Structure 1
Amino acid sequence: MQGVTLRERRRSADRALFHRSGALRPSPADPFFRELGRAANHSVLWLGCAAVCAAAGGRARRGAVRGLLSVAGASTLANGVLKPLLPRRRPPARTAPHFARRIVPTPRSSSFPSGHAASAAAFATGVALESPVAGAALAPLAAAVAYSRVHTGVHWPSDVVVGAAVGVAVALSTRRWWAVRADEPAAVRTEVAAPALRDGDGLLLVINPGAGSSDQTADLLRRGLPSARHLTLDIDIDPATQLDDLVAAHRPAALGVCGGDGTVAVVAAAARAHRLPLAVFPGGTLNHFARDLGVADIDATMRAVTGGYTTVVGLGEVTVTGAGGTGTRLFVNTAGIGGYPDAVRLRERWEPRIGKWPAAALAMIDVLRTAEPMKGALDGIPTSWWLLFAGNGRYTPRDQVPMSRAALDTGTLDVRYLSADRRWSRVRLLYAAATGTLGASPVYRQHDNAALSVRVDGPAVALAVDGEAPVDGTVFDFRALPSALLVYRSRVDQSLL
């Protein structure tokens, strides 16, 4: 009896709200809601909103990708699963007194739940997860689309409420297999004093125009730090040799770098070798290290340089042994072997257009589709793997594709690899990634290591360091270097941690 009573109460509330909407007198809002509902057919409206968000870039672009994926999931669940399972008649719209000016052709599908409301709520929620500002701007539009289905007489109010709940739930569930990237700077353990370089006096600033640094960025740095010595790397000369010569000739108080992460790693190695603080000015395409430092724009770095605000961060180091001998490279972000270099290239090519996680997922699928497993040993234990990743510091999430760096000076490397030791390992990996169960998969391994030795049996393979593949080898000795580098970092950004 209690179930019948609740059902009747819901039906009474549905009828009351529906007829109250139908009793509203004709107004200019009638054609607006009618056309809005039509614009949302087949998610055309949300595709247009996604294009605007993508053009805005940054977090809004990531939100557009998450929003569209949420729409796809919500629409499939609402229209393909719930409607057939829970059929319900559409409301008798034409019997209400003022519906004649509003009515649209009545769909033949089940009334419960509203697919339009599900898609609207899914898109707005998906965008809001990445960009709360863009999500707040879209929320009134999504609410208007949901209400338009009652206003035009094609849905009961409860259809819209449940549809919206489905959309929100699907959008929130995307976090399980695509974590929301944190934009906060990575945590550090030690803050120290360094020279405050007024107007950049004593700063040797190296600019690499080939890494994406524009003439406009270089002009901004010259105006903001007029006393700094600005130099451009010669692409025909080994950068490490150039930097040693420049430091010997000018004896700077600090080194600065404007370029991509590969350039940053080279200058960071010189700064560490000469015991100089480093100022990082984002001038590349992605600028992961600068973002994790909390200096995502050049003004933030200039404030840190002129104020003398610094912190100590860790670095990663890999020693490579191959046919050409032995060499050592530092990395500020990540290094990897196996299919990882190819996956990095593909991900960075696609990331500006579709976002990091979709780009990483598609790159992994493409690499796994054609790759052969690598065989060798990890710390002397025989192993075979598809991809191996070593991150400087601690990356999150731990049980999914890494999206952001939580800490920069942990004294360890975040080591992850995709094991090829199990049968159907590629299928298992793709299934785990798609279902958000990667952390529980026996073919996904994550460890925190102070050091790791990797031996590859067979021909030499490429090593990727900070997105570049500089050398081939058969033995790779990775090592964490805690508190290895003094870097300028805004005090304002530090207080946010």
Structure 2
Amino acid sequence: MSFPSQPSEPPATTRSFWTGGLPRRLSDKDRALFQVAAGRNWPGARAVLPRLSRAADHGLLWFGAAAAMAATGSPRARRAALRGVASLALASATVNTVAKRSVRRPRPILEMVPLVRQLKSQPITTSFPSGHSASAAAFATGVALESLGWGALVAPVAFSVAASRVYTGVHYPGDVVVGAALGVGAAFAVRGLVPTRRQLPAPGRPYTEAPALPGGEHLVVVVNEASGTAAAKASAVRDALPLAEVIECAPDELTATLDKAARSGRALGVCGGDGTVNRAAVAAARHGVPLAVFPGGTLNHFAYDLGIEEVQDTARALEAGDAVKVDLGRFTPGPDGAAAGYFVNTFSLGVYPELVRLRERWSPRIGSWPAGVLAAYEVLRGERPLEAEVHGEPHALWLLFAGNCIYQRLGPAPAHRYDLADGLLDVRVVHGGRLPGLRLLAAALAGPLSRSPVHAARRLRRLRIGALAPRTPVAYDGEVAHIEGELTVDKLPEALTVYRPPVRA
């Protein structure tokens, strides 16, 4: 079957239609470039580019790449994947809702493109700009802004997808260039809303020196066996620090093992979640030794706020003897009759302790994040506000939160601490009343230093809480205990010395 030939150059009477609203001179040059690309031999491209172009339909190639990156378990890779997907989403929305409707440019004439290079299913949308190129550039740029290593892996694929749109004849070169520029812009727009880790201030202050322990010499590292990745983390620590003594122990032996390890080495190392780090911090402060943290839990808030994401980060800090001073939060009296309890991240009363209890019960069966969502639904459905006195005034509270140092915004909600030795408590209160879920959400989005009939936030050095009923649950660094009567929350300023990796330029 033959088709009537189409003119390679539209008649003058229809030129304005074919330019699609673009300046005529630019449109003519773009078509000339397209003719050159269409007639040129692209060595090795025939087996790759059409398949790659189809794989990128609807962003499927990039969603698959993001899933593969997240599956590595690296926090940096997960952040890069999430940023790439967010950038892609913004770029795609911009191209499809604004750009393509503003310049309705027809697709190139296919007779100039060899049949073997053409796609089996031709797109029906307008040609300008290239949505595939926008998505590819947005994903690659978003990934690179968070992780240069992953960006270097993704960039050649993104470039090939953009080139495939000209190779298969569905876009002019100008469509691809403008689409890629929009994608890059979308990635930087996302970065403007949610800063990358490199944009954040150096984690922790004030800087202090600690013993340099190359190879982990004179370091004792305690690994919590209850951590889901305990065996892998212990092996990684041994590989990175061959001179360190690594001890794996059960949760019921953790406190005694940490105390013994703090007495026997020049520094104490710990691998586990925030609850395990809490116990290690108390032991390190008691014996006056620096603490080396290896993230091994689900959330690892304390480690991440120090700029520690991988075993190698802590190994670099130990090699250089680079450390910071860190405040230690305290509440008195402490749990189970102790004189005091301590926290490196947060202390809370109200619905959160019950949420933590349910999450920890269900997470071994369904995973941490689903357990957290289900626990939040269960708690908010059946709990009553906590009755207590705050600085002598009676209150009904859904939540009282005290953070060890001020939590700053990382995007739309407070989630990161830049200074771990500011001497302050970040106190947030959600008042009792109807619709507790909406009240908690409003408090989270409002951030620090806010007041409303629903919530309040203050920066304090000391907090007094009274009239607590017997066996009132409290949560601190993911642990749950029970207290009653009067309670004081304050700080031990710069009580800890913690290894922190040198800041990279």
TM-score bracket relative to the smaller structure: 0.7 to 0.9
Map 1:337-356 to 2 at 5 A: 337-341=349-353, 342=355
Residues 199 and 363 of structure 1, relative CA distance in 2, 3 Å threshold: same
Residue 102 of structure 1: aligned partner = 117
Partner of 1:148: 164
Distance in 2 (alpha carbons) for counterparts of 1:321 and 1:48: 48
Post-superposition CA distance 1:240-294 (Å, at most 9, x none)? 56766x48xx9646452433232222232233234x2133252622544345446
Question: Please, which of 319, 327, 341 is the counterpart of residue 329 of structure 1?
Answer: 341
For 1:92-491, list aligned pairs within 5 A: 92-95=108-111, 97-104=112-119, 105-175=121-191, 178-181=194-197, 186-192=203-209, 200=217, 206-211=222-227, 213-214=230-231, 216=235, 223-225=242-244, 235-236=251-252, 240=255, 246=260, 252=264, 254=266, 256-260=268-272, 261-274=274-287, 276-282=288-294, 284-285=296-297, 287-293=300-306, 311-319=324-332, 328-341=340-353, 342=355, 370=381, 374-376=385-387, 378-380=390-392, 386-397=398-409, 400-416=412-428, 419=430, 426=437, 446-454=457-465, 461-471=472-482, 477-487=488-498, 489=499
Relative distance call for 1:416 and 1:138 in structure 2 (3 A) is farther
Task: Give me the TM-score of the superposition, normalised by structure 2.
Answer: 0.73
Look up the equivalent residue of 2:113 and give its one-letter code. Answer: H
Amino acid of the structure 2 residue aligned with 1:270: A
Is this contact kept in 1: 2:451–2:457, CA < 8 A?
A: no
Residues 97-106 or 51-60, more deviating: 97-106
**CA apart distance, 1:90:** 2.3
The question of whether the paired residues in 2 share the 8 Å contact of 1:26 and 1:101 is answered with no
Give the residue type in structure 1 aligned to 2:188: L
- Contact in 1 for aligned 2:215/2:243 (Cα 8 Å): no
Native 8 Å contact 1:321 1:475 kept in 2:
no
SS of residue in 2 equivalent to 1:60: helix
1:179-226 deviations in whole A, cap 9, x for unaligned?
43458862222525669799755x66544333454353675699513x
| Superposed counterparts of 1:44-83, under 5 Å | 44-58=60-74, 59-79=76-96, 81-82=97-98
Decide which moves more: 56-65 or 82-91. 82-91
Taking structure 1 as the reference length, the TM-score comes to: 0.74
Distance in 2, Cα, partners of 1:150 & 1:456 = 72
Aligned equivalents of 2:207 and 2:181: distance in 1? 45
Aligned equivalent of 1:88: 104
Name whichever of 11-20 and 36-45 sits farther off.
Answer: 11-20
- By relative contact order (CA 8 Å, sep 6+), the higher-ranking structure is 1
**CA contact 1:429–1:438 (8 Å) conserved in 2:** no
2:210–2:290 CA contact under 8 A, matched in 1: no
Q: 1:384 to 1:45 in 2, by over 3 A?
A: farther
Kindly tell me: are residues 273 and 155 of structure 1, through their superposed partners in 2, closer, same or farther at Cα, counting changes over 3 Å? Answer: same
Distance 1:165 1:458, change over 3 A: farther
CA drift of 1:8 comes to 3.3
Cα distance in 2 for residues equivalent to 1:422 and 1:11: 63
Contact 1:75 1:115 in 2 (8 A): yes
Q: Secondary structure at the match of 2:78?
A: helix
After superposition, the C-alpha distances for 1:16-38 in whole angstroms (9 at most, x for unaligned) are 33333334346542453322211
Structure 2 letter corresponding to 1:328: A
Distance 1:308 1:27 in 2: 53
Gaps of 5+ in 1: none
Q: Distance in 2 between matches of 1:172 and 1:37?
A: 25
Q: 1:466 to 1:382 in 2, by over 3 A?
A: same
SS at match of 1:407: coil
How many residues of Structure 1 are paired with residues of Structure 2 in the alignment? 471
> Which residue identity is paired with 2:409?
P
Deviation at 1:11, TM superposition (A): 3.1
CA distance in 1, matches of 2:25, 2:415: 47
Give per-residue Cα distances to partners, 1:388-419, cap 9 Å, x unaligned.
543323433277434433122111123345x4
Q: What do residues 43-78 of structure 1 show as CA deviations (whole Å, max 9, x unaligned)?
A: 221122123312333212222223223333433443
| Structure-2 separation of matches of 1:360 and 1:172 | 34
Partners of 1:5 and 1:198 in 2: how far apart?
A: 65
Alpha-carbon distance in structure 1 between the residues aligned to 2:345 and 2:414: 12
Conserved? CA contact 1:40–1:46, under 8 Å: yes
* Corresponding residue SS for 1:406: coil
Distance in 1, matches of 2:164 and 2:316, equals 50
CA separation of 1:161 and 1:255: change in aligned 2, threshold 3 A: closer
In 2 relative to 1, CA 49–336 (structure 1 residues): closer, same or farther, beyond 3 Å? same
Partner Cα distance (1:431, 1:311) in 2 = 34
- 8 A Cα contact 2:410 2:416, kept in partner: no
Q: What residue in structure 1 maps to residue 5 of structure 2? A: none
Residues 482 and 437 of structure 1: CA distance in aligned 2, closer, same or farther (over 3 Å):
closer
Contact residue 146 and residue 196 of structure 2 kept, 8 A: yes
Work out the percentage of aligned pairs sharing the same amino acid: 35
Conserved in 1, the CA contact under 8 Å of 2:122 and 2:170? yes
The one-letter code matched in structure 2 to 1:407 is: D
Give CA-to-partner distance per residue, 1:411-446, whole Å, 9 cap, x none. 1123345x457987855876998xx88689966755
Partner amino acid, structure 1, of 2:488: D
Structure 2 gaps, min length 5: 1-19
C-alpha separation between the residues in 1 aligned to 2:496 and 2:292? 12
Q: Give yes or no for the alignment of 1:34 onto 2:50.
A: yes
CA distance in 1, matches of 2:321, 2:197: 30
Query: Which amino acid letter does the alignment assign opposite residue 479 of structure 2?
Result: E
The one-letter code matched in structure 2 to 1:256 is L
